[in-house]
Structure formats: C-alpha cells, structure tokens
Amino acid sequence: MNETSSELRGWTRRNFLKVAGVAGCAMLFPWLAYAAESDELNAKADELAATAASKQAEADEMKAKLDALQAQYNEALDRYNAANDAHDAAVAAMDAAQQRIDEASALIESTRNQLARRANSIYRQGSTSIIDVIFGSQNFDDFVTNWDSVERISQQDADLVQQNKDAKSEAEAAHAEYSRQEQIAADELANAKAAKEELETAQEALQKQYDEMNSDISAILAEAEQTRMSAEEAKKKEEEAAAAAQKALEEAQRRATASSSGSSTSYSSGSGSTSSTPGNVSGWVNPAPGKYITSGFGWRDLGDFHQGVDLSCSYEPVYAMAAGTCTWSGWFGTGGNAIVIDHGGGIVSWYLHNSSLCVQKGQQVSAGQQVSVSGNTGFSTGAHLHFQINVGCSNGINGTAVNPTTYFSW
C-alpha cells in the first residue's frame, strides 16, 4: 500500500497531520498503525509471492528435466523390451539348435549302425578292401573317411557315408549357433536391464525432489493468501479508525473553538502556582507548571511521530490535569513507570518515565493532585515528563493523541 492510496478525505497521512498541527489540533490516529500493519502485511505477502514464483521457476525447470528423463526412460524401456524379445528369440533359436543337435546325433547314430551292417556284409563276402579299411582306421571317423577309397562301395554305401558327414557338420554348426545365441541374449538383456534400473533410480530421486518442491510452493502460497487476508483486515480497521479519528478531531476542534471564545481562567497547580490554558477547559490544571517543552508534539527529526510533549521536569512532582480515575499505575513498556487517568467523556491523560508513583489503579484523583514524581525510566535519555492527552478513548487508556499545547502553555 502506498501513501497516496491511504488518504483521509483527500489528505495524505503526513499532510493531514501537519495541517492539523498548524491549526493547533494535530493528532496521531490509530489508523496510522493499522495502515503500517497493512503495508507490512502486503509487503510480506508480495515477498512470499516472489519466493513462490522463484520456486515455481525451479519446479518448472525440474519438471522439464523429469520430462526429458521420462523420454530417456521410455527409450530404455523400449530397448529393454526389444532385448527381452531378442532374448526370447535367442532362447527359441537355442531350442531349435538343440533340436538340430538331437536330430543330427540320431542321424549319426543311425548311419553308424547302417555302415556297420554294410561293413559286416562286405566282410562276409570276402572283400579284402573292407579289411584294409577296417584295419587302417584309427577310429570310426577314420573308418568313414577311408570308406571313400573302397572301389567296390555301392551308391547306397556312398550316400550313407555322406549322410554321416553332413549330420556331423550340422551338429557342430548347431552347437556353435546355440552358444552364440546364448551369449547374445545374456548380454543384451543385462545391458538393457542395467540402463532401465539406472534411469528408474534417477527418475525416482528427481520425482521426490519435485514433489517436495511443489509441497513447499503450496505452503508458501497458502501463507501468502493468509497474509493477504490479514492485510485486508488491517485495511478495514484502518478505514474504521480513520473515520473515528476524523470525528474525534472535529470534536476537539469544536471544543477548542468554543473554549477560545469564552473568558480566560487561571488554575491552581499542585505547587500552588497558576497557569493559563489556551483551551480554557474549566477545572483543568497544568501537570508541570513553570516548565518548558524539550520535545514537542508531532513529527520529529528521528522520523517518528511524538504523541505528547516532553517537559523539563527533573525528579519533581507531577499533577493530575483534571479529576478522574486512575486506569494504569505501573510499568508501561518504553514509557517506564506510568500513570494513566480517565477523565470521562473519552478523555485520558498519560504521565510517563516517572521515578515513583503516588496513586494506584482504580483510585479516584482530583485536579491538581500529585500523581507521581518525574524521572528517567523506560526509553528515556534523561529525567523528564512525557505528558499526553488522548480523546475518543473507549477503554480508559488508549484513544487518539492530541496536542497538549491546545490546552496548556509552557
């Protein structure tokens, strides 16, 4: 909220107070506090929104990484599925190779038996060649090879020999294919599985980070929304307080105008001296007669708004400005030892930084009665009296501060 957006009947906060001060009735309205609260809450909400936006940008970037990783995972899954299919095909090829091995082995066994019968038959017929073949062979394979040299072998015998050779070659080829397919299937499946598992792990970790970040963003946005609602509530209070402050100011101006048109009156102070009051309020007594102002009402060089006047009292008696009821007697934060008196009609007076207190909360006091001894308690740079008048008070303590020099002169 900027200053120009917080106007009261066309005046900015600072200008309104300055004009009212010139008129002798400047006030520090409660709406200033509400406005500051609203500004702070809106600023906090803006900051939270900026944080959420920053985190959202990070989350979007992470989501892009997740999408890219998902694409890689899909590719890896396709490779894995292809490798799995290849593995299944290799297993089928292995089964086919095994079947070929079995068939070739059976065929070899069959041809061996047939050749054995043929050799026996030739031998019985007295062929010397078969004897040479038999005794010239180291083993059955040599026997099959040497069989080709037998000139009297029949075409059937030649076919059996060739069939045996072919079956042996087929069995060897089937064994080799089986081993090759087995290795291909194992390698492809292992590589594809490793790639898929690696991507699954990376994806799971990134997804966890993404979910946590989204959760943080939701919490920040919820806090920002709650802060906005609080700012709106403070704004509403600001507007209500501004209206009440305007009404109280108008009433104070009316009273000041009415009193200035009457006769001047002198009042007896608690010390027996007299002091005229510009406001000429009947029955009011100067709380620190004969003193001077060390810090006035209104905006100060420090940048704060002083809600009362500081008077040059150094551990001296302080008097009630009018009859009323003590509504506070004790420590009041930065105000140190404090006395607050409710005078009725929404008017209260404050006496801060006292060294000692003379009345208790709930006690009835009269105008000019000593209520404290000034001092240097609380946030204070030296012994003095902070004197403050509030109007429009509904609880006997707070209200809206008005310039005390409207009613007293020092």
For residue 57, pLDDT over 50 is answered with: yes
What is the DSSP-derived secondary structure letter of residue 107?
A: H
pLDDT one-digit tens code per residue, 131-149: 666 666 667 766 666 665 5
Q: Strand, coil or helix: what is 298? A: strand
- In this prediction, residue 25 has a pLDDT band, given cuts at 50, 70 and 90, of very low
pTM above 0.85, yes or no: no
For residue 31, pLDDT over 60 is answered with: no
Output the pLDDT for position 323: 95
Question: Between 88 and 387, whose confidence is greater?
Answer: 387
- In this prediction, residue 96 has a pLDDT band, given cuts at 50, 70 and 90, of confident
pLDDT one-digit tens code per residue, 260-287: 444 333 333 333 333 333 444 778 999 9
Residue type, 96: A
- In this prediction, residue 255 has a pLDDT band, given cuts at 50, 70 and 90, of low
Residue type, 81: N
Tokens of 147: 């069989």
- What is the rounded average pLDDT for all residues in the chain? 76
Output the pLDDT for position 242: 65
C-alpha distance from residue 300 to each of 8, 75, 134, 294, 398 (Å): 22, 72, 132, 12, 22
Backbone angles phi, psi at 391, to 5 degrees: -120, 170
* Burial of 395 per CB tally in 10 Å (0-12, 13-18, 19+): exposed
Output the pLDDT for position 257: 54
The winner for highest mean pLDDT among 217-226, 229-238, 259-268, 315-324 is: 315-324
How far apart are the C-alpha atoms of 347 and 340, rounded to whole Å? 11
How far apart are the C-alpha atoms of 355 and 336, rounded to whole Å? 9
